[in-house]
Structure 1
Amino acid sequence: MAKREIPLFILDNNRAHNLGECDFITCTDIDNGFVGKIDYTHCQEEISDTVRTGEERNVIRVRMEIKRIIGKNPTPAAQRSLLKKAMEYYTEINTVEVNTSSPTDKQCIDFLDTLIKGNRHNLTEAGVDYNERKIIATSLNMLEAIKDKLKNLKQNE
């Protein structure tokens, strides 16, 4: 069996698209490819040909919905299977293990990166409220400073 020439899933999670708190995933399968929107919800478990929710964690679920089919010969069964694989892939790469009793420096830096990413999104969502934007920008600057300080401490060890 030959290896893929391109990845099966391509993830857009930079949230610079200004479409709200969501990510997008593209499945590049030639027959059953799709573009899916990923967001978070409080709904019950949902599984269909075009929608799938993940495991409930802290009363919310990841919800993935196919928004555009780009495959040449799509079949519902194959799309359901690929949607399931896409959910597993997304969950695996977005699960941040947090060890609050004795975190490593790398875990602290990774968690700060997650907070920074979320705050950058909040900055774009703040709109024209000057005070809100200033608070978020200050928080971002402080998180970056903490991260840099941790990295410098680690390098000097």
Structure 2
Amino acid sequence: MGKREIPLFVFDKNREHGIGECDFVCCTDIDNGFIAKIDYTNEPEGVTERTRIGKPNNGISLRIEIKRIIGKNPDDATIRTLMKKAESLYVESSQMKVVEKPTDADMINFLDILIDGNKHYLSAAGSDVNERNTILSSLKMLDSIKHRLIELSGN
């Protein structure tokens, strides 16, 4: 089977794995494949052999941390390049396209992206109970708006 007969990256974004607010990516490259955890941090931008932390946005950076190498002949430079590509695809898939006249489905999808994208603030809040409660209230309100929109649109 050739390298590109299957997707190069497979993202798990359902967050139902029960280990906190993170997603996963599997790189299926034959020689340099890996499984990595994707989460958010307030650490500075940087790259190591097994971790990539992107440019901060409002003090929060995307972190990709390799948990397992699955490639047959791993090369550190190629793996770093693949982590950068995975980061770009992840960020691109998490952003909403600008739509002139959004449909109900567009608005529901936007709310899903907004909810998922803001869950990382819970872990960033740490032990600050007031901040956590504010974030939880906001997430609950966004989810309620989404469900009301679903009811009204008949989906």
Q: What is the TM-score normalised by the length of structure 1? A: 0.72
Alpha-carbon offset, residue 150 of structure 1: 5.2
Shift of 1:8: 0.1
Partners of 1:119 and 1:140 within 8 A in 2: no
User: Once superposed, what is the RMSD of the aligned Cα atoms?
Assistant: 3.2
How many angstroms does 1:149 deviate by?
Answer: 4.2
1 CA distance for matches of 2:114 and 2:89? Answer: 21
Deviations 1:75-117 (A, max 9, x none): 1111111111111111111123578xx8734542222223565
Aligned residue pairs total: 139
Q: 1:118 and 1:49, CA in 2 relative to 1: closer, same or farther beyond 3 A?
A: closer
> Contact 2:36 / 2:66 at 8 angstroms: preserved in 1?
yes
In the TM superposition, residue 49 of structure 1 has moved relative to its aligned partner by 1.6
How far, CA to CA, are the matches of 1:93 and 1:10 in structure 2? 12
What is aligned with 1:110? Answer: 109
Q: Once superposed, which parts of structure 1, at least 4 consecutive aligned residues long, lie more than 4 Å away?
A: 115-120, 138-141
Contact preservation (8 Å) 1:109, 1:150: no
Higher gyration radius (CA): 1
Please name the residue that 1:37 is paired with. 37
Counting only pairs closer than 5 Å after superposition, residues 7-86 of structure 1 correspond to structure 2 as 7-86=7-86
- For normalisation by structure 2, the TM-score amounts to 0.73
* Structure 2 match to 1:128: none
Structure 1 unmatched runs, 5+: 123-131
Shift of 1:56: 1.4
Q: Cα–Cα, structure 1 residues 82 and 118, in superposed 2: closer, same or farther, change >3 Å?
A: closer
Structure 2 portions without partners, runs of 5+: 123-132
Equivalent-residue separation in structure 2 for 1:20 and 1:107 (angstroms): 28
Residue-by-residue CA offset, 1:112-150 (whole Å, 9 max, x unaligned): 223565799x9xxxxxxxxx9xx89x7587334322145
